[in-house]
Structure formats: structure tokens, C-alpha cells
Amino acid sequence: MSAPVAGPGEVVVDVERCGVCGTDAEFFSGEMAYLHTGEAAYPIRIGHEWAGVVAAVGSDVDGSWLGRRVTGDTMLGCGRCERCLDGRQHLCADRHEIGIRHGWPGALATQLPVPVRALHELPVDAELGALVEPGANAVRAVRAAALSAGRRLLVLGPGTIGLLCALFAAADGVEVHLLGVSPESLEFARSLGFPAWTAAELPALRFDAVIDASNAAALPERAVSLVEPGGRVVFIGIAGEPSRLDTRSLVLKDVTAVGVLSGSGGLAGAIERYASGAVDPRPLVAATVGLDEVADVLAGHRRPEWGAAPKIHVDPRR
């Protein structure tokens, strides 16, 4: 792909840091659903968790953006439809998604074109900036759980999003537990101060809300079975195959179920929590590599010395 040029309403960002996400790995393996629905096609430049410095602006863009460290919304709506005009551009039927949908190039590169309307200025460094997008997903999930301080939350899946949900909820004074499978991920969650359990170990506690941040098809049903009657279940993980959930379980327990797509609407909240120090996601980053190591990372290869932290960052300047 050729070097990007800032068109009308756009900037070009020099990428400082980009996170590798499960969605990126699915593009690498060919499993990503959009490849099979026609919403994405090869070749595609992936990467949507990013931070960088504005290097060029379009002719109609305020020049004061130059030199500012930024991140941005992954979801780029058309700006004209009812959903966009109603502030729901992440649900626009014609949206582009950076590094994911309809060919908009991603941030696993030295430069990235972005509409200026999607930008958020960063008062934090590039490492934290590249954690804003996944953090924004967690912000929205925790908001959807709607718990006050002292309530108890169960998070299914101690991966990046699940751990970020735990961190943001704990910052609100919520008691957080995590449910997982692998000993390594559970021990890492415990190292952050959270009780973490296998299904066999999970104590019989009242869970006022459950967030499913896993990719296991059986866990949506499990989430509903574990939540307190009248509680809330938030679905942010996406399984590779359909999940079965008897809606009678929702009705008979008077459960509110919420789906969360993307960090749109949560970016400013994540930035504020990082900048204030209320949430510190840095321990989730196992390593930072160069672009020459991306293929190995996408294929699931990890160096033993990286440990069990779930997130790998890429510095394309290396």
C-alpha cells in the first residue's frame, strides 16, 4: 500500500504504538467473520488499537492538530444517516472500521490516515494511548453493568478486555471476581489483586452483574445462570460459533441483557481514567516488538520471558 495522504477532513498520524488484538489474529488466520460476509477482503492492513502524533492535515483541517499525540475511534460512520446524526456512528450500516471493515487501512504501519472527527487528544504517553481503544470497550461494558460501589461483579474471561473491565469496575469501588480456564491467566489476574476462579472453584456468591468477555459459546448461558435475579448481564465477547441462550431464563429471572459493540462512546472515559491514575493498564502489556515480529505474534507465538500478560504492542519505528 502507498503512503497515506491527508484528504479533506483527514489527518495522517505517525504511529508510535499499536496493540495486537484477537480480531487481528482472526484476520491473519482467515477466521474473521467479515472476510466471509464481504465486509472485509484481502489485502488489508490491520491494527485498530493505536496512538501516534499528527504529521499532516488535510487542506480544511485546523493546523493546530500538527504535532499532537492522539488516538481515535475505530468506527467511522458515514456522517449522514440517522444513526450517525443520533450519535451512533458505530452502528452505521455503511461505516468503515479502521483496520477491519471496508478496507480502511489500519495502524500496523508507520503511518495511518484518520478522519479528524474521530480523533481524541492524548494527555498520556503512547503506551497508554494504544490501550485506550480496548479500555473504551471495557468502560462501556462496566457502564452497562450499572453497579454502585460495594456491589459484586463477575467477569467471564481474564483476557485483555476482561481484565480491563475488572480494573475499571474496581476503580468504581465494585468487588470484582474473574472466571477463567488456564492456570496462567488466572494467576495473572490474581497478581493484579482479583479473586480468579475456574468453574469448579467458583464460590456460591451473589453476583449483581456478569460481564461475558470470553469467546466461549457456552458462557452466555452460564452468565445468565450465575447473575442475581434482577441483575444485568453484559455481552462484549464474541464466540466463533453461535451461542445458545434460552430467553425464558432472562424472563424468569427478570434479567437485563446488554450487548456492547466497540469502544465508541467510551474513549474519553478511558483517557480520563488513565490520565488521572485511577486505572493503570500497563501491567497488561507483556512486550513491545517491531513490525518484523508481527507475523509471529499474530500466529500466537510468544516468548517465554514475556510471561502471562495478555497484550502485545508493536512500535513500528523499531
Q: Can you give the CATH number for the domain in which 247 is found? A: 3.40.50.720
Nearest CA to 158 out of 171, 170, 167 is that of 167
My answer on whether 150 and 123 are in the same domain is no
My answer on whether 172 and 209 are in the same domain is yes
266: in domain:
no
Distance of CA 88 to the CA centre of its chain: 17
The pLDDT of residue 1 is 64
> Do residues 275 and 250 lie in contact, with contact meaning Cβ atoms separated by under 8 Å?
no
- Over residues 17-47, the pLDDT tens digits come to 999 999 999 999 999 999 999 999 999 999 9
Compute the distance between CA of residue 94 and CA of residue 119 in angstroms, rounded to an integer. 20
The pLDDT of residue 282 is 98
- Over residues 225-284, the pLDDT tens digits come to 999 999 999 999 999 899 999 999 999 999 999 999 999 999 999 999 999 999 999 999
264: in domain:
no
The pLDDT of residue 151 is 98
My answer on whether 177 and 83 are in the same domain is no
- Over residues 159-182, the pLDDT tens digits come to 999 999 999 999 999 999 999 999
Q: Report the CATH number that the domain containing residue 127 is assigned in CATH.
A: 3.90.180.10
Which among 259, 291, 306 is the end of a domain? 259
My answer on whether 85 and 166 are in the same domain is no
My answer on whether 158 and 138 are in the same domain is yes
How large is the average pLDDT for residues 137-166?
98
My answer on whether 139 and 251 are in the same domain is yes
My answer on whether 66 and 147 are in the same domain is no
Question: Residues of the chain with pLDDT > 90: what percent?
Answer: 99
- Over residues 265-281, the pLDDT tens digits come to 999 999 999 999 999 99
My answer on whether 219 and 126 are in the same domain is no
My answer on whether 106 and 181 are in the same domain is no
> Do residues 116 and 15 lie in contact, with contact meaning Cβ atoms separated by under 8 Å?
no
My answer on whether 166 and 253 are in the same domain is yes
> Where in the sequence is the domain holding 229, given as residue range(s)?
134-259
Compute the distance between CA of residue 228 and CA of residue 245 in angstroms, rounded to an integer. 17
My answer on whether 126 and 164 are in the same domain is no
2: in domain:
no
My answer on whether 208 and 304 are in the same domain is no
158: in domain:
yes
Quote the longest CA-to-CA distance of the chain.
61
294: in domain:
yes
Provide the residue type at 132 as one letter: V
274: in domain:
no
124: in domain:
yes
276: in domain:
no
Number of domains in the chain: 2
Nine-digit cell string for 9: 477532513
Collapsing DSSP to helix, strand or coil, 80 comes out as: coil
